[in-house]
Amino acid sequence: QVQLIESGGGLVQAGGSLRLSCAASGRTFSRFAMGWFRQAPGKEREFVAAISYAGSMTYYRDSVKGRFTISRDNAKKLVYLQMNSLKPEDTAVYYCVADTAYPLSNRADYWGQGTQVTVSS
């Protein structure tokens, strides 16, 4: 089992920044690809970003490329999502995700409880 706990969400004005963190516990962290999904009210859950096991590969949904950066620290069992130039359409609950398969899908094995990000216009 892998437990994932997100933090760092909050309310920010458009154009601002937030950094989400995800702390993992349980099995060997470096064996898992990590990522972030999000879900806005009334919308489907969508992929945001993912990072491979050692962090050598990353990929993003088109709408966040150039604004969001995913990273990981395997020694500390942490994954981050740095979000810059935030837009109101980034408002959603953000979920940390882990899976042994890469790239990630919305059928990933492990999910955190989510953290709310709200961007005001």
pLDDT score, position 40: 97
SS3 label, residue 29: helix
Average the pLDDT over 92-101 and give the result. 96
Contact yes or no for 49/64 (Cβ under 8 A)? yes
Q: Is residue 103 predicted with pLDDT exceeding 90? A: no
Band the pLDDT of 48: cuts 50, 70, 90. very high
Please determine, for residue 27, whether its predicted confidence score (pLDDT) is greater than 80.
no
pLDDT at 75: 94
